[in-house]
Amino acid sequence: MTVAIVLIVAVAAFYARRAWSGRSRGHRPNVLLITIDTLRWDHVGCYGAAQAATPVLDALAARGVRFETAIAHAPLTAPSHASILTGLTPVRHGVHDNGAFVLAPDIPRIATMMHAAGYATAAFVSGFPLDRRFGFASGFDLYDDRLPRGNAPRGAGETERKADATTARVLDWWPRPRASADAASAGRPWFVWVHYFDPHAAYDPPDEYRRRFAANPYDGEVAFVDAQIGRLFARLTGIDRLDDTIVLVTADHGESLGDHGEETHGVFVYDATLRVPWIVAGARVPAGRVVQTVARGVDVVPTLLDLAGVQIPAGLDGRSLRAALDGRAMSDEPAYVESLLASRNFGWAALRGLRDARWKYIAAPRAELYDVAQDPRESANQIERQPERVRSMSRDLDAALRAPARSAARPVDAEAAGRLRALGYVTGTGSPRGDGGGGRDPKDAIALINRLERAIADTRVDPARAATELRGVLAEDPGIVIAHRQLAVALSAAGDHRGAIAEIEALRSRDLATAEDLVLLSESLRVTGRREEAARAIEAAARLDPQSPEPALTEARALASEGHPAEAAGAYRRALDLAPDNAEALVGLGQAALVQGDVESAAAAFERVLSRDSGDVAARTGLGLVRGRQGRMDDAIALLQQVVRDSPANAEALAGLGAALARSGAPRQAVPYFERAVAAGLRTTPVLNGLGFARLETGDRAGALAALRESLSVQPAQPAIQQAVRDLAAGNDPSIRK
């Protein structure tokens, strides 16, 4: 070899290395982990779904590696994510249910490992089960779990964030295309985890996707998330970082969609809910490979660390799949799987099992063994035909269960329980009747669980029907405590407060009432006029769960609705002592200040909410009304128009907008907003008088007369309005202006 050729080879190697390792010496690839909640593997195009519209994930698989078979460890968000983030099975990390456990802070997880290796770390999550209170935030410089409060009825807000809103938060955080690439590369590499929640029930995709997927809205949710991931990739392409970023996309679990009689997920450990997509692409990953080695949730951490060049700690349950990515053969390791939902919440049997490339064994009162390679739908139980295999898998399962758990169970507070139930979960309400192998086999009673889940979802829509269904559930199994609890909620929502009180008193007499139950009890007692007992129930709730702001919030709501703003403000302040950024408490404080004429304090409270969640409807309405009081009509009109566009039946905002327009000299525009406010139920004298005088200014004397007469029917003692009505009726111009 000549010197020239040696030199050329060396230079080529130098450039090749530079291309390999990025732009500068010591450059580390960025790492993007995307988890899509409830994404069933066979509803993704590159996994063979004909009806899917997942072009972004399909393209990712084409430029990377797709694992044909990947297994999640649990069909529930928190336990499965804990495995994805720690590399440990649920047996080791100890999180077995949503909302009921805190991932122990001393358990290393990928964020702490990447952070220690010099990475900037950020997480953007979209569902309440991953709220920071459950221990997922350690190691992240930024943990964005701000879920919108929305304008939904009690218990339904702050449960999920739509994919476009989460994407917007990520794009706010990431370097922009116009920022210099040098600035981005001069900084630390980043590790970002983005969690999307949309495919989770209820299936409610944006309009465009609802139309396109009218027959299957679940696929509409999946397509919407796929498009949002496309927005993330477009930004990375725009800043020349996509090829330089390791991307791993997987799911925490799938969705049964009726398989095995299960409608959603959580109870069973069949592949319908445990088999998930697993796609890796980007820096250091070859293109277009499909790997048959089984990937598992616990393999995410070691695989990403390996690709990023970060040391893999000892003691993980997972292993790096880098050899498989590179096309080398790897043996299969079995995946531990479990669901403790039915055991923890109904006192039925726990389901635990092992799943390898060929077989799945499920320990249950009636144990199951499936040849998943030949029988992917798990329809033919081989338990009698394979005694030897059952013995060995059962032995391996026992060994997997021997590892000590590290996380602590936590009491579920009232607010968390309400938010979990708003997601349709029967979980998170505690009162476990043991966790052993005894009890009913969940597969013998899946219809009962479906019925319970439907009744829970129904409570918000048709509480009377939900109560009937819940009574049916309890007739079949009176021991399901959560059904009693939910029956009280449904009865109260249906206006049967005596029935609700009786249900909760029955729980209380068995020492099963939670703080949440006592809060509900106090509301029902108050509505039925038993105020002193209501106050005692709130005190008992606060004693039972001293960390929860819910008792103070309940008291504040009652005081505000009874017209005691100063006392309500005091209770809201107590709630804020326990939960410093609680949006309901801040909004309540703002509204109390507004009622008392303290516009400065009101503005401060509403602005504080909006600085955290710019979409908060109640805070935006409040700030709009404040601006109106301050005479800042343009600001008032802009804020309230936004509210009315997003929630067209918001009576307060409609009335405030009408008033602001009328005072800005635009009575013709004001009239329809006043009319809509009245139609939305705000039939009060200020609104009716505002409507009357706005109509008068547009020359509609008959309409003005009608509105002012209606105002007098609400409150006759309005001398000025009486005079105006007399003037109008006599054909004169009214001598007063409101």
CA dist., res. 225 & res. 206, Å (int): 11
Interface of this chain with Zn ion, residues 116 to 145, rule: CB under 5 A: none
CA dist., res. 335 & res. 350, Å (int): 17
Contact between residue 295 and residue 278 where contact means Cβ atoms under 8 Å apart:
yes
Which CB, 37 or 413, lies closer to Zn ion?
37
Read off φ and ψ for residue 123, nearest 5 degrees.
-130, 145
CA dist., res. 686 & res. 491, Å (int): 35
Rounded to the nearest whole angstrom, what is the least distance from the CB of residue 83 to Zn ion in the complex?
A: 12
CB atoms within 10 A of CB 732: 10
SS3 179: coil
Rounded to the nearest whole angstrom, what is the least distance from the CB of residue 279 to Zn ion in the complex?
A: 18
Q: What is the 3-state secondary structure (H, E, C) of 392-430?
A: HHHHHHHHHHCCCCCCEECCCCHHHHHHHHHCCCCCCCC
Q: Amino acid identity, residue 451?
A: R
Rounded to the nearest whole angstrom, what is the least distance from the CB of residue 420 to Zn ion in the complex?
A: 12
Distances (CA, A) of 462 to 62, 467, 484, 493: 47, 9, 17, 9
- Which of these segments, 31-39, 138-146, 386-394, 702-710, binds Zn ion (CB under 5 A)? 31-39
Q: Indicate which single residue of 33, 34, 37, 400 sits in contact with Zn ion (rule: CB under 5 A).
A: 37
Pairing state of beta strands 335-339 and 351-355? Answer: antiparallel
Q: Amino acid identity, residue 477?
A: D
Distance of CA 125 to the CA centre of its chain: 8
Contact between residue 590 and residue 619 where contact means Cβ atoms under 8 Å apart:
yes
Rounded to the nearest whole angstrom, what is the least distance from the CB of residue 295 to Zn ion in the complex?
A: 18
Which CB, 28 or 109, lies closer to Zn ion?
109
- Which of these segments, 69-77, 112-120, 390-398, 467-475, binds Zn ion (CB under 5 A)? 69-77
Which CB, 252 or 496, lies closer to Zn ion?
252
Rounded to the nearest whole angstrom, what is the least distance from the CB of residue 251 to Zn ion in the complex?
A: 8
CA dist., res. 430 & res. 100, Å (int): 7
Interface of this chain with Zn ion, residues 218 to 277, rule: CB under 5 A: 252
Residue from 362, 313, 355 nearest 332 by CA: 355
Pairing state of beta strands 295-296 and 70-71? Answer: parallel
Contact between residue 533 and residue 525 where contact means Cβ atoms under 8 Å apart:
yes
Which CB, 79 or 463, lies closer to Zn ion?
79
Which CB, 37 or 453, lies closer to Zn ion?
37
The DSSP element (H or E) to which 278 belongs, if any, is: strand 278-281
CB atoms within 10 A of CB 532: 8
Which CB, 98 or 582, lies closer to Zn ion?
98
Rounded to the nearest whole angstrom, what is the least distance from the CB of residue 127 to Zn ion in the complex?
A: 7
Site string for Zn ion, 461-490 (x = CB under 5 A): ------------------------------
Which CB, 297 or 667, lies closer to Zn ion?
297
Rounded to the nearest whole angstrom, what is the least distance from the CB of residue 221 to Zn ion in the complex?
A: 13
Which CB, 96 or 322, lies closer to Zn ion?
96
Rounded to the nearest whole angstrom, what is the least distance from the CB of residue 429 to Zn ion in the complex?
A: 18
Which CB, 42 or 727, lies closer to Zn ion?
42
- Which of these segments, 33-41, 526-534, 554-562, 651-659, binds Zn ion (CB under 5 A)? 33-41
Q: Indicate which single residue of 77, 98, 126, 264 sits in contact with Zn ion (rule: CB under 5 A).
A: 77
Residues in binding contact with Zn ion, number by CB under 5 A: 3
Rounded to the nearest whole angstrom, what is the least distance from the CB of residue 58 to Zn ion in the complex?
A: 23
Rounded to the nearest whole angstrom, what is the least distance from the CB of residue 253 to Zn ion in the complex?
A: 5
Rounded to the nearest whole angstrom, what is the least distance from the CB of residue 596 to Zn ion in the complex?
A: 44
CB atoms within 10 A of CB 642: 17
Which CB, 131 or 252, lies closer to Zn ion?
252
Rounded to the nearest whole angstrom, what is the least distance from the CB of residue 128 to Zn ion in the complex?
A: 11
Which CB, 77 or 621, lies closer to Zn ion?
77
CA dist., res. 627 & res. 495, Å (int): 37
Which CB, 77 or 339, lies closer to Zn ion?
77
CA dist., res. 310 & res. 117, Å (int): 7
Name the residue whose CB lies closest to Zn ion: 77
Q: Amino acid identity, residue 204?
A: D
Contact between residue 296 and residue 70 where contact means Cβ atoms under 8 Å apart:
yes
Residue for token digits 């995410």? 300
Q: Which residues bind Zn ion (CB under 5 A)?
A: 37, 77, 252
